[in-house]
Chains A and B, each alone.
Chain A
Amino acid sequence: MRRQHIAPSLWGMPQHSFDGFAGPGEPGGAPAPPEAALASGAALLDDPAEWPAFGRPLTEPATAAPSPDGAEGAVPGPPAPGPWESHVVLLGMHCAACALTIEEALRAVPGVAAADVSAATQRARVVWNPAQVRPSGWIGAVQAAGYRALPALDAFAREHRQREQRRALWRWLVAGFCMMQVMMYAWPAYQAMPGDLSLEMERLLRWASWVISLPVMLFACGPFFASAARDLRQRRIGMDLPVALGIAITFAVSTAGTFDPAGLFGREVYFDSLTMFVFFLLTGRWLELRLRGRTAGALEAVMNRLPDSVERRGPNGVFTRIATRRLAVGDTVRVLPGEAFPGDGRITCGSTQADEALLTGESTPVARPLGSTVAAGSYNLRAAVEVRIDGLGRDTRFGQIVALMESASLQKPRLAQLADRIARPFLGAVLLAAGLAAAWWWPSDPSHALMVAVAVLIVTCPCALSLATPVALLTASGTLARHGVLVRRLQALEAVAGVDTIAFDKTGTLTQGGLGLGRIEPAPEGGLTADQALSLAAALARHSLHPASRAIVLAAGPLAAAASGVRLADVQERPGSGLQAREADGALLKLGSARHAGVAAEPGAVPAVVLSRQRVRADGTLAAPESLARFALTEALRPEAAGVVADLRRAGVRVLLLSGDRDAAVQRVAQAAGICEAWGDCTPDDKLQRLQALQAQGRTVAMVGDGLNDGPVLAGAHVSFAFGRAVPLARARSDFVVPGEHLGQVAQTLLLARRATAVVRQNLAWAAGYNALCVPLAVAGCMPAWLAGLGMAASSLLVVLNASRLVRWSGEGLPCAVSAPVVADGSPPQPTGLRPAGEGA
């Protein structure tokens, strides 16, 4: 077989990290990389050696799937001549209609043989012919349609999960269909008067039931037997052991009844109970699997930050663009402004500023001069630098953060641990009770004795008990993830439900993280209206990532379309002072500090930027700069802040404001947001002391913060929220992360957590009450096996269904667009409501 080049790893990540470093999602609210980097990234995918990373040739046999041995040494073979099947992640999709639009766009590309877009998973499968089109061609078509496509590098990991899900569905369908048919065969025996049914007919029906039960036993029950066997090998009692035992005994007794009616176990058969029991049990399992899958999918989207491709210096000093996964420790790469650093490393040439919000929680850019270290996943903001790579993949801080998030999603909540601890001795007691019951009844009727044992085994299955907590909490965290809140610690969901006091930090939580645009003062001599000045400034500011520029572009919102009509050439950014560009008529347009713009600075404490223009004189020289407008910059209160504070009050929560900012500013913000208790000039220690004082009064306190300063306070609170763009994942101290920048999510998390704990309590009460009622009945022999099966399955199902009420939770008041904050081309969808509230107030 021709050796196919196998994707050895996931763009710099080790092979086994597929699940964690899932496919590219969106870079959680960070500045979008410039269009140029994207385009070159797509062009890079045209290299046939990259294709196996996110697809495979259709003509190749199944052995082309990635295997661990196909690692680095694999020789890149020539591309298979036949069509290729590739998988991409789609960003910017909102509904099923989007999926159809993308499908149409893809199918319109010549050379694309098939395109299937799934709205549910936001993924597309594209079959294309390398002879006619390259990946950049059809990825470009998706971008032209207004969406963004990234290669789905975890396609194979997902495929594995999908196979699992399909098999679970298939088991469930087999059990369900066979159950219906066995019921049909059992019906005559239910209905018949003695003598109605001839002996041959009854035997025929039993034979048919037996045949139909076989697939259920051999295939659908596979997981129970496999898990029971595993438990036995490890000499412990697992949840599936009583179930497997019950199923096996029931089938054995029924088989004996079918083939040897005169034998020891009598002539009764229980195929109907058996299949129904298995069906209900599998229903519960399948629902649980789906819920878990949904939670995992939501986490995947957040965990991708690394660039797809990077410029590496070759031995001859020339930089060439390669895939990040080909990078090795010791390589030197050039990172352009707007790109993310591919690994941890040291700057060997140039100096820049980096946005390390993801790692440190600090949203303001940090200076990274020559010789300093940079971290994977942080963004280069200012200038192109050369970086020597010291660490890649799992070894980076970013890799550790992702590992942390993964482990958080695997933690067992405290209540669930308790239930598990109870479950083990409980299971032992169940086995003992079943054995004793069988021994008690055996002398009178062995068949009845066995069925009593089966009833005890089945009816007491503690599935409901151990499902009660995790199902509810996982469902709640999945719902929250869909609404843009990430749960870092499942235990926190229990804790947050009991919160009665919430302390907010000011900067970046109640106020917007960056700057907002305040008053616009058009200069009288400039002759422009405020809107015209804003649109002109936005046209210039679009070329910069500086917070002030972002504020202007954001505020321009609806005017941005007009701004794109302004033609500017020769745009330059002077670090630390401002932007300049030439207009079509040669006039020089400047935006920045008063000194940069060349106009007299106005006295006043309010920070502002100035837009000025230098006209071209008749002799070709530039005239003196004339001021066009001043843009005052403010820290803008989030528009939803007051409403959320009121909501929290209504929910019976005391709201505080703790800030390190000047007291006057803090009181102003507090008043605007409707918070009565506010303290300014707080050091982190002060904040912590206030928090501890409240806790000493017996209050359960949640802290909402965003910055580095909040670290100890977040750790000291009972529950902590990390808010906004500054996601302090690395500090591992916040229980919830809210990257969606909407305060309402904090309130909604609280409400949903209360609902979730209520559901957990209901579930536990139900499971305990059910067992207390049914075990004595079963031991006494009053419960037929079919009723035991129904009761057990119903109790599990009820627990799962009760929890699934949390999925449908609408999140009233939550913005639905939260899950898609950033679009590829750097023009985030801008709700007009984001205009700084300070302007109107």
Chain B
Amino acid sequence: MDILYLLIPLSVVLVLAVLAGLWWAVDRGQFENVDQEAERILKDG
């Protein structure tokens, strides 16, 4: 079980990395127009 002493701090780092990723997505406006992109695939060309 000693591996947990590594994994738990690692998970903290992972959470911070995910938060950074979320910030990137929010800042780029990824959540602002969620309906429109779904229709893009239906459009030819």
> B-contacting residues of A (Cβ < 8 Å)?
96-97, 99-100, 104, 118-120, 162, 166, 169-170, 173-174, 177-178, 181, 184-185, 200-201, 204-205, 208, 211-212, 215
Contact = CB atoms under 8 A, between A and B. Distances in A.
Contact of A178 (B8, B15, B32): B15
14 contacts: A96-B38, A96-B39, A99-B36, A104-B45, A119-B33, A120-B35, A162-B32, A174-B19, A174-B22, A177-B19, A181-B11, A184-B11, A201-B4, A204-B8
Given A162-B32, A184-B11, 12 more contacts: A118-B33, A119-B33, A120-B32, A166-B29, A169-B26, A170-B22, A173-B26, A174-B22, A177-B18, A208-B8, A208-B11, A212-B12
Q: Is the interface of B mostly helix, strand, loop or mixed?
A: helix
A184 B27 CA distance: 27
B14 to A, nearest CB: 9
A752 to B, nearest CB: 24
* Interface magnitude class on chain B: 20 to 34
A100 B19 contact: no
Contacts of B38: 96
A170 B23 contact: yes
A96 B19 contact: no
A416 B29 CA distance: 34
Contacts of B12: 208, 211-212
Given A166-B29, A177-B22, A212 B15 contact: yes
Given A178-B15, A204-B8, A205-B8, A118 B32 contact: yes
A166 B22 contact: no
Q: Is the interface of A mostly helix, strand, loop or mixed?
A: helix
Contact of A215 (B19, B31, B39): B19
A836 to B, nearest CB: 38
Nearest to A125: B29
Given A174-B22, A204-B5, A119 B15 contact: no
Nearest to B15: A181
A337 to B, nearest CB: 39
Contacts of B26: 166, 169-170, 173
Contacts of B35: 96, 119-120
A184 B22 CA distance: 20
A415 B38 CA distance: 41
A162 B27 CA distance: 10
Contacts of B32: 118, 120, 162
Contacts of A173: 19, 22, 26
Nearest to B28: A166
A104 B40 CA distance: 11
B19 to A, nearest CB: 6
Contact of A169 (B1, B11, B31, B40): B31
Contacts of A181: 11, 15
Contacts of A104: 45
Nearest to A204: B8
Interface string B1-21: 100110011011001101100
B27 to A, nearest CB: 7
A684 B43 CA distance: 57
Nearest to B37: A96
A219 B26 CA distance: 15
Contacts of B23: 170
Contacts of B31: 169
B17 to A, nearest CB: 11
A118 B35 CA distance: 10
Contacts of B16: 215
A208 B4 CA distance: 12
A787 to B, nearest CB: 25
Contacts of B18: 177
B41 to A, nearest CB: 10
A208 B40 CA distance: 42
